[in-house]
């Protein structure tokens, strides 16, 4: 695990040297991937190492802005054999934001519901998009912020019992904590509610709720929970932990 922010430079240097040595012995069939939720500074040692290694490279994936997002949704629907009205595109973008994985899941659900017989409408989006479940997601995050483990677990299992797949719930929870981290950073930097909404391209309700929830967590707590979310995602995808158990462990570990 890389040294935590704020540790001495000597520890960071030792980590990079050890990583360099490990990369030299990496088999041809293996690739090591680092994922960072935020942009790295140009002088970041991991970034420099990626540029220095013969097989290494770094790529930044920026989320699409509002106009680009509408285009992406339209093209994604078409690529799956569907059609969608412009008003439905706008509604879907407002509800989900620029989380492309979550958007892809919602598009798949909408196309299945419509069945290819007609374009996806604004009404379809409002009916099917999982923000019908948003209240429970927000309440679960509220419960975590107030360290109410029992309430958070109860809400989680209500969603599971309602037929929501564990992987989808994890994506929704991850998205909400990513938003909280962004909102907290911007608000601490003096950004107004309107500026936050414009910068992140979020629905006003999501920003209002995010500002309220962000007060219940310190920056370090949000970062720790986000790391735990990424670890849970890996545990589920690699089959290391059964999905429902992984979510239970996530809630228990995040509400302490």
Rounded to a whole number of angstroms, the distance between the first and last alpha carbons of the chain is 22
Please identify, among 98, 129, 160, the residue that sits at the C-terminal boundary of a domain: 129
Cα distance between residue 230 and residue 33, in whole Å = 13
pLDDT at residue 16, as a whole number: 73
97 and 167 part of one domain: no
248 and 146 part of one domain: yes
pLDDT at residue 133, as a whole number: 59
Is residue 220 within 8 A of residue 121, CB to CB? The reply is no
Domain membership flag for residue 60: no
Please identify, among 129, 145, 177, the residue that sits at the C-terminal boundary of a domain: 129
106 and 46 part of one domain: no
145 and 125 part of one domain: no
Cα distance between residue 33 and residue 134, in whole Å = 32
Distances, alpha carbon 5 to alpha carbons 1, 11, 223, in Å: 12, 11, 11
Read off the pLDDT of residues 116-141 as tens digits, 9 standing for 90 and up: 789 999 888 877 775 555 667 778 88
pLDDT at residue 131, as a whole number: 55
Residue 207 burial (C-beta neighbours within 10 Å; 0-12, 13-18, 19+): buried
Tokens 């709720």 label which residue? 209
Q: CB-hemisphere CA count at 13 Å for 91? A: 20
Residue 29 burial (C-beta neighbours within 10 Å; 0-12, 13-18, 19+): exposed
Read off the pLDDT of residues 148-187 as tens digits, 9 standing for 90 and up: 889 999 988 888 876 778 888 898 889 889 989 999 999 9
pLDDT at residue 230, as a whole number: 92
Neighbours of 102 (CB within 10 A): 19
123 and 81 part of one domain: yes
162 and 227 part of one domain: yes
Is residue 30 within 8 A of residue 60, CB to CB? The reply is no
Q: Structure tokens of 27?
A: 């088999």
Selection from 22-36, 52-66, 208-222 with the highest mean pLDDT: 208-222
Is residue 82 within 8 A of residue 111, CB to CB? The reply is yes
3 state DSSP class of 57: coil
Selection from 4-8, 37-41, 248-252 with the highest mean pLDDT: 248-252
**Residue 147 pLDDT more than 80?**
yes
pLDDT at residue 242, as a whole number: 93
Read off the pLDDT of residues 179-197 as tens digits, 9 standing for 90 and up: 899 999 999 999 999 999 8
pLDDT at residue 13, as a whole number: 72
Domain membership flag for residue 57: no
Domain membership flag for residue 4: no
pLDDT at residue 5, as a whole number: 46
199 or 13, greater pLDDT: 199
Domain membership of residue 106 as a residue range: 66-129
Cα distance between residue 251 and residue 242, in whole Å = 14
Distances, alpha carbon 118 to alpha carbons 68, 85, 105, 111, 115, in Å: 24, 10, 19, 10, 8
3 state DSSP class of 84: strand
pTM above 0.85, yes or no: no
pLDDT at residue 57, as a whole number: 79
* DSSP tag of 64: P
Q: Structure tokens of 204?
A: 């006003």
Domain membership flag for residue 213: yes
84 and 115 part of one domain: yes
Cα distance between residue 251 and residue 228, in whole Å = 10
Read off the pLDDT of residues 87-119 as tens digits, 9 standing for 90 and up: 999 888 877 777 788 789 889 989 998 987 899
Query: Given pLDDT bands bounded at 50, 70 and 90, which one contains residue 231?
Result: very high
Read off the pLDDT of residues 54-74 as tens digits, 9 standing for 90 and up: 778 788 877 777 678 899 999
pLDDT at residue 188, as a whole number: 93
Domains contained in the chain, number: 3
- Residue 25: φ, ψ to 5°: -100, 5
């Amino acid at each position: 695990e890389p040294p935590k922010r704020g540790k001495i430079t000597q520890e960071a240097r030792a980590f990079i040297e050890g990583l360099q040595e490990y990369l030299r012995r990496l088999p041809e069939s293996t690739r090591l991937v680092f994922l960072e939720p935020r942009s790295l500074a140009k002088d970041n040692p991991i970034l420099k190492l990626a540029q220095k290694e013969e097989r290494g490279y770094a790529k930044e994936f920026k989320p699409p802005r509002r106009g680009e997002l509408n285009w992406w949704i339209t093209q994604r629907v078409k690529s799956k054999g569907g059609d969608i009205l412009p008003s439905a595109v706008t509604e879907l973008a407002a509800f989900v934001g620029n989380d492309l994985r979550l958007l892809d899941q919602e598009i798949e659900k909408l196309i299945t519901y419509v069945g290819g017989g007609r374009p996806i409408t604004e009404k379809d989006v409002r009916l099917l998009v999982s923000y019908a479940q948003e209240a429970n997601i927000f309440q679960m995050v509220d419960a975590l912020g107030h360290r109410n483990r029992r309430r958070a677990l109860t809400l989680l299992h209500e969603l599971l019992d309602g037929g929501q797949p564990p992987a989808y719930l994890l994506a929704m929870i991850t998205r909400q904590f990513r938003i909280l981290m962004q909102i907290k950073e911007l608000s601490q930097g003096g950004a107004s509610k309107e500026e936050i909404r414009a910068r992140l391209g979020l629905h006003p309700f999501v920003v209002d709720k995010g500002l309220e929830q962000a007060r219940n967590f310190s920056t370090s707590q949000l970062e720790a929970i986000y790391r735990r979310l990424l670890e849970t995602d890996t545990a589920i995808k690699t089959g290391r932990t059964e999905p429902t158990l992984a979510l239970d462990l996530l809630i228990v570990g995040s509400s302490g």
